[in-house]
Amino acid sequence: MSFAHQLKQEIYEARPTERELRLAQAYGLLLFSKGFSRSSVSIQTEHEQTARLFCSEIIDLIGIKTSILYSEFEKKNGSTVFTAAVEAEEDRENILRFFGHDPDELSLRIHEKNLHSERAAAAFVAGAYLACGNVTDPQKDYHLEFVTPHRGLCRDLIGLLSGPLEPPRMTTRRSSCVAYLKESEAIEDMMTYMGAPKCALAMMEISIYKDMRNKVNRVTNCETANIEKTVTAAAAQCEDIRTIIAARGLESLPDELREIAELRVQNPDMSLRELGEALSEPLSRSGVNHRLKRLSAIADQIRGTK
């Protein structure tokens, strides 16, 4: 079961039993479905329980029983799509009027008189999500969205959510308006608001794991880079010392440079700090670096005279 299906399933299973909240959820479900007008009151979804809820709420809450056509068909990719539609125009008009909409209105907007409390608003948003929402698998990306062809509805939804939650941003995709969230915490809050705390917790756990993995990768990459840098520097230092040995011999060097030169050639994997601690008179990292630079300058001088 995909994460998107799990979310809709949890919202469906948490559907309210109080009539006021059922009405609010049914309003969101119908208003944000495929059609909500005199010419079409219909839904199309890959979540079977959402399609059946669409039918049952029209029958139980509004009282229409005879003209709902329910069907399902299989897509080429193997997924099943469920559809439900109110066939009679008179019934469609009755549904619109039931929620305070004029069948002749051209631009759909949210009638907040159907939302009598914050709990009703949350139920409405849950219904809207069942109808037109989608979420990306959080293992891959963080993205939750509501998609509707009606710009006014999209703006109204964002306005409704701007109080209790971080409001979604809006964009357009082909002929549709999309209200979306991209931040994991905002998506988790939205899931909890819609009645899906289990999915919110699952996403939180995934987010924490991904953050920890990214931190480990960053530390590992940093350590790897530092090791490569140390190895490269040590190889160059050994090459400088070999140049001095071949041209003049280590005995040509002052005692402090001869000791660090011998130590470096014998221990090419030592860090500057470890080299300093291994000297007869321990030296700081910067002190070791200074002596190695003096050796490098001598080697450069020898190479310049060749």
Same domain for 114 and 40, yes or no, is yes
Query: How much is the pLDDT for 306?
Result: 54
Percent pLDDT > 90 in the chain is 59
pTM reported for the whole predicted model: 0.74
CATH number at residue 83: 3.10.28.10
How would you label 276-290 residue by residue, b for 16+ Cβ within 10 Å and e otherwise? bebeeeebeeebbbe
**Residue 201 belongs to some domain of the structure:** no
> What would the pLDDT profile of 71-81 be if each residue is shown by its tens digit?
999 888 888 99
Same domain for 165 and 227, yes or no, is no
In a 13 Å sphere around the CA of 101, the CA atoms on its Cβ side amount to 22
Domain span at 103: 3-195
In whole angstroms, what is the distance from residue 39 CA to residue 26 CA? 19
> What would the pLDDT profile of 19-36 be if each residue is shown by its tens digit?
999 999 999 999 999 999
Same domain for 136 and 92, yes or no, is yes
SS3 90: helix
Same domain for 88 and 230, yes or no, is no
Specify whether the CB–CB gap between 285 and 272 falls below 8 A: yes
In sequence order, the 6+-apart residues with CB closer than 8 A to the CB of 198 are: 10
Same domain for 287 and 220, yes or no, is yes
Same domain for 142 and 241, yes or no, is no
**Residue 204 belongs to some domain of the structure:** no
> What would the pLDDT profile of 118-171 be if each residue is shown by its tens digit?
999 999 999 999 999 999 999 999 999 999 999 999 999 999 999 889 999 999
Query: How much is the pLDDT for 269?
Result: 82
Same domain for 190 and 78, yes or no, is yes
